Structure 1
């Protein structure tokens, strides 16, 4: 099955931008829960989640920066850390509600999309660049080399000796 993505860079930038948006929503939810439920004795602590989402916000900003540069290394860093975040969200009691479910599903979808973006960017970078054939012309009396691209399919190396220099050398040799 072939997945057709015309511009994986734009898809990666879009996913990274949406990640920042949803991370800010999740961070706001956890801050609100911490504020509302913080006064109760039996309420769980949301400070760990606030720290996690703050770091995730920085990670998503780094991913966006890397995607703008078309750098795959950002995806390599982002992908395993986001998988860990997803696993923690699924097995945590601190995340519940409809909006939390939407964010969890989006995290899963973004992991799949960024894996596809990584694959497509890797495929584009592995395409072989067809070698360009050149003609090299050198002049015996100088150390200057001129390299010109060929428009033909075969490579030729042309070395043209300077006839004036050869004539002078033969005349000089004849006087000795």
Structure 2
């Protein structure tokens, strides 16, 4: 299943207001592990800092040329080649099922140009939409950390999922889409 309507572009400093609006919206913020201040200058600084990093790749998700969300791959252990993936769809009215298909290009990017061996994701138990998407995209549920995150005075459980490059190479065949975040095919033709 190829999704030509789904593309990605680099994150620019001028995206600060849009990203801040998305990150602080109730529909996104409730599922994030971190809190974000309503500070556009701080958001600009965050973008500048992340754009300069070599251990993080991030993009604006686009559908038919319109910005709808954000995704990232962050290396958490360079020696073991382990990383984590983050995704959110911020524009209201964008189909929530789109998140599942973003993982195709993100995982292709993580395992090929970035050369990662494994992705480990941490998902709040309250994020009932993303939990099934992890399995849909070939992740294995490793376990649940009970009362692991304190958010707004409430303790929340956190699920841990993992996927190795070998597992993804076998699993991704069901999608038949070999593109990464930059549109390159993996493996290259």
Return the index of the structure with the highest Cα Rg: 1
Q: Please identify which structure carries the higher helix content.
A: 1
Length-normalised TM-score, structure 2? 0.24
Q: Please identify which structure carries the higher strand content.
A: 2
Length-normalised TM-score, structure 1? 0.25
